[in-house]
Structure 1
Amino acid sequence: MGRRAWGTVRRLPSGRYQARYPDGSGEQVSAPHTFATKADGNRWLAKVQTQLDSGSWIDPKAGQETLKVYAERWVDTRLVRGRPLAPRTAELYRAQLKNHIVPALGSTPLRQMDASAVRAWYGTLSGPDGPGQVTAAKCYRLLRAICTTAVDDNLIARNPCSIRGAGQERSSERPMFALAQVQALVDAVEDRWRALILLAAWTGLRIGELAALRREDLDLTAGTVSVRSSVVDVIGQGRSYGPPKSAAGRRTVAIPPHIIDDLEHHLATYAQPGAQGLVFVGPKGGPIRRNNFSARVWAPAAEAAGLPPGSHLHDLRGWGATVAARHGATTRELMHRLGHASPAAALRYQRAEQERDAALAAAMSAGARGAK
Structure 2
Amino acid sequence: MSATTTRGTSASKREAWGSLRKLPSGRWQARYPAPDGETYTARTADDKPLTFLTKTDARAWLAGVHTKIAREEWESPSVLAARRRAEAEMEKARSIGFSEYADRWLALIRTQPNRSGKKRAIGTIRSYKSKVDGYLIPEFGDTPVRRIDEARIRVMTDRLDAIPSPLNPRSKFNGITRPVLIVLMMILRQAARDGIIPAAPNISIPKQQPVRHDADHDDSEDVASPEQIEDLYAATPKQWAIMVLFAAWCQLRRGECLGLQRRDIEWHDDGTATLHVRRQLNANTGDYSSELKSDAGKRSLSVPRIMRDRLEAHLRDNVAPEAKSPLIPTNIRGSVPLSNTRWGYVWADARDAVPGLPPRFRFHDLRHTGLTIFAQEGATLAELMRRGGHADIRVVLRYQHATMSRDRELADRMSDRVADRIATAKRGAGEPRPVSDGHL
TM over 0.5: yes
SS in 1 for 2:136: helix
Tell me if the contact between 1:110 and 1:156 (Cα under 8 Å) persists in the aligned partners: yes
Higher relative contact order (CA 8 A, sep 6+): 1
Q: Secondary structure at the match of 2:287?
A: strand
Shift, 1:269, TM fit: 0.7
Letter of the 2:342 partner, please give it: N
Deviation per CA, 1:328-366: give whole Å up to 9, x if none: 22222222222222112111222465479879x99xxxx
Runs of at least 5 residues in structure 2 that lack an aligned partner in the other structure = 1-67, 74-78, 167-172, 413-435
Partner of 1:160: 201
d(CA) in 2 for partners of 1:126, 1:162: 15
Q: Where does 1:307-346 land on structure 2 (aligned, <5 Å)?
A: 307-346=357-396
TM-fit CA distance, 1:28? 8.4
Listed one character per residue, the Cα deviations across residues 72-112 of structure 1 (whole Å, up to 9, x for unaligned) are 22442342322211122222222222222222124333222
What residue number does 1:183 align with? 230
**Corresponding position of 2:33:** none
Q: 2:61 matched to 1:27? A: no
SS for the counterpart of 1:201 is helix
| SS of the residue 1:224 aligns to | strand
Distance 1:162 1:179, change over 3 A: same
Match of 1:34 in 2: none
Look up the match of 2:298: 250
Taking only the aligned residue pairs, the percentage that are identical comes to 29
* 3-state SS of 1:310 partner: coil
Equivalent in 342, 347, 354 of residue 305 of structure 1: 354
Equivalent residues in 2 for 1:51-90, closer than 5 Å: 60-67=91-98, 68-80=102-114, 81-90=116-125
Counterparts of residues 1-372 of structure 1 (less than 5 Å): 26-27=83-84, 60-67=91-98, 68-80=102-114, 81-129=116-164, 133-163=174-204, 165-171=205-211, 172=213, 173=217, 175-221=222-268, 223-234=273-284, 238-243=285-290, 244-283=292-331, 285=334, 286-295=336-345, 297-306=346-355, 307-351=357-401, 354=404
What's the offset of the Cα at 1:202?
Answer: 1.2
> Quick check: 1:227–1:252 contact (8 Å CA) kept in 2?
yes
1:143–1:161 CA contact under 8 A, matched in 2 = no
1:65 aligned counterpart, secondary structure: coil
- Equivalent AA in structure 1 for residue 97 of structure 2: T
Aligned-partner residue type, residue 339 of structure 1: G
Shift of 1:66: 3.3
Counting matched residue pairs gives: 315
Query: Partners in 1 of 2:149 and 2:305 — Cα distance?
Result: 57
The aligned counterpart of 1:55 is: none
C-alpha contact 2:164 2:174 (8 A) present in aligned 1: no
Q: Is the 8 A contact 1:228 1:251 kept in 2?
A: yes
AA partner of residue 121 (structure 1): M
TM-score, structure 2 normalization: 0.63
CA contact (8 A) 1:75 1:94 kept: no
Cα shift at 1:266? 0.6
> What is the one-letter code of the residue matched to 1:99?
G
* CA-to-aligned-CA distance 1:25-49 (integer Å, 9 cap, x gap): 5428989xxxxxxxxxxxxxxxxxx
Whichever of the two has the greater Rg, that structure is 2
Question: Quick one: structure 1 residues 150 and 326, their matched pair in 2 at CA, closer, same or farther if it must change by over 3 Å?
Answer: farther
Query: Cα RMSD (Å) of the superposition?
Result: 3.3
- Equivalent position amino acid for 1:64 in 2: S
Contact 1:87/1:232 (CA < 8 Å) preserved in 2?
no
Secondary structure of 1:308's aligned partner? coil
CA distance in 2, matches of 1:6, 1:101: 49
**TM-score calculated relative to the size of structure 1:** 0.74
